[in-house]
Amino acid sequence: MTAVAQPLPAARRPKRMTPARWGLYAFIFITALYFLLPLYVMVVTSLKPMAEIRQGNLLALPIAPSIEAWVKAWTSACTGLTCQGIKIGFLNSLRILVPSVAISILVGSLTGYALSLWRVRGANILFGAMMVVAFIPYQLFIYPLVRVFSFTGLGQSLLTIVMIHTIFGLPTMTLLFRNYFASLPVELFKAARVDGAGFYQIYARIMMPMATPMIVVAVILQTTGIWNDFILGLVFAGRDNLPMTVQLNNIVNSTQGERAYNVDMAATLLTALLPLAVYFGSGRWFVRGIAAGAVKG
């Protein structure tokens, strides 16, 4: 370079906090506030009595914190028709969640396994098609499926909603497990074949035990996905099995007369509790789940 010949002003050890660094932390701090604000407001509102909410400041800490609103939200908030609180929805969601997660992972892993390691004719076409249809909005399927289920006599029921979650979870689950099995050394599979193991034996004895990390990711992905579902539960679960999200919306949005914001927020937090627990409990696994789900196609 031509400029290097001139002496530099006495080179100094650089300072730790440059203005750019300050700007960086300021940016992070301000965005963090935007992201944390709703959670904070939810918590403080749910702990305030209504009088305090009406007079006070949204952001103020509760003067006389009480868990009354939580109790009410859990046991006696009205969802339009009944007033048994959101615990009904919580139990419904659990009853939907457990079999849906288990079955969708079972079917998805088996499909992924068959598509990755066994050269079945047309497997690639099937897989490609599954990746494409994963993008289609539910509105295209909902009405025909309602008709099909009522035709088969299942109608709206727990079994229906579990089947629906399995169906709509299939593309993502298949993708997840197919890619994972495809990344394992193929020699492993060949060795098992040479030892005379059959299709289901290899799946149950060798592949699934090795797929523990993917199972964790799949459980996280499906648990948050199914728990957070609204539209499928609304349409397919039936009045007796409405999931928590639907109940929550009913509690908050169908209230007649004065709204009990503290109860609303307590119910909202209760609904968000499980996914939040999964998220904070699983740490980087959640990110891995997103990354795995994000590589659709």
Partner 1 sequence: MQKSNVDIRSLQIGFGGLKVLENLNLHVEASEFLVLLGPSGCGKSTLLNAIAGLIDVKGGEIHIGGRDVTWAEPKDRGIAMVFQSYALYPRMSVRRNMSFGLKVAGTPREEIERRVGEAAQMLRLTSLLDRRPSELSGGQRQRVAIGRALVRHAGVYLFDEPLSNLDAQLRAELRVEIKRLHARLSATMIYVTHDQIEALTLADRIAVMQGGVIQQLDTPKKIYREPVNRFVASFVGSPAMNFIPGRIACDGETGFIAGANRLGLNGYAFRGLPTDARAVLGIRPEHIELTASDDPSAVSARVEMVEPMGADTLIWCRLADGTTFSFRDDADAKMREGDTLALRFPAQALSLFDETSGQRL
Partner 2 sequence: MRLSLTSRFSAISALLPALLVMLVVYIGATSWTVWMSLTNSRMLPNNNFVGLRQYETLLGNDRWITSVHNIVIYGVLFVSFALLIGFLLAVAIDQRVRAEDTIRSIFLYPYSMSFVVTGLVWQWLLNPTLGIQHVLRSWGFENATFDWIVRPETAIYCLVIAGVWQASGLVMAIMLAGLRGVDEEIWKAARVDGLPKWRVYMSIIIPMMGASFATAAVLLSTGVVRLYDLSVSMTNGGPGIASEVPAKFVMDHLFERANIGLATAAATTMLITVIAVVAPYLYWRARKGEMR
- What residues make contact with partner 1 under the rule CB under 8 A? 1-2, 4-5, 7-8, 10-14
Distance of CA 77 to the CA centre of its chain: 25
Q: Rounded to 5 degrees, what are φ and ψ at 152?
A: -75, -5
Q: Rounded to 5 degrees, what are φ and ψ at 188?
A: -55, -45
Q: Compute the least distance from the CB of residue 195 to partner 1, in Å.
A: 38
Question: Binders of partner 2 among 53-92, rule CB under 8 A?
Answer: 53-54, 57-59
118 sits near partner 2 (criterion: CB under 8 A): yes
Residue 61 interacts, among partner 2, partner 1, none and using kind-specific CB cut-offs from 5 to 8 Å, with: none
The CB density around residue 6, as the number of other CB atoms within 10 Å, is 6
Q: Compute the least distance from the CB of residue 4 to partner 1, in Å.
A: 4
286 sits near partner 2 (criterion: CB under 8 A): yes
Residue 261 interacts, among partner 1, partner 2, none and using kind-specific CB cut-offs from 5 to 8 Å, with: partner 2
Segment near partner 2 (CB under 8 A), from 28-36, 62-70, 75-83, 211-219? 28-36
Residue 297 interacts, among partner 2, partner 1, none and using kind-specific CB cut-offs from 5 to 8 Å, with: partner 2
By CB neighbour count within 10 A (0-12 exposed, 13-18 middle, 19+ buried), where does 57 fall?
exposed
Closer CB to partner 1, 7 or 198, in the complex: 7
Whole-angstrom distance, CA of residue 174 vs CA of residue 127: 8
Question: Binders of partner 2 among 226-265, rule CB under 8 A?
Answer: 227-231, 235, 245-246, 248-249, 252-253, 261, 264-265
Whole-angstrom distance, CA of residue 128 vs CA of residue 132: 6
Burial 143-164 (b: 16+ CB within 10 A, else e): eebeeebeeeebebbbebbbbb
Residue 12 interacts, among partner 2, partner 1, none and using kind-specific CB cut-offs from 5 to 8 Å, with: partner 1
159 sits near partner 2 (criterion: CB under 8 A): no
Segment near partner 2 (CB under 8 A), from 8-16, 40-48, 62-70, 76-84? 40-48
Size of the site for partner 2 (CB under 8 A): 91
Q: Compute the least distance from the CB of residue 260 to partner 2, in Å.
A: 12
Residue 7 interacts, among partner 1, partner 2, none and using kind-specific CB cut-offs from 5 to 8 Å, with: partner 1
CB 179 within 8 A of CB 288: no
Whole-angstrom distance, CA of residue 39 vs CA of residue 16: 33
Question: Binders of partner 2 among 173-202, rule CB under 8 A?
Answer: 174, 190, 193, 198-200
Distance of CA 185 to the CA centre of its chain: 31
285 sits near partner 2 (criterion: CB under 8 A): no
Distance of CA 81 to the CA centre of its chain: 28
CB 206 within 8 A of CB 274: no
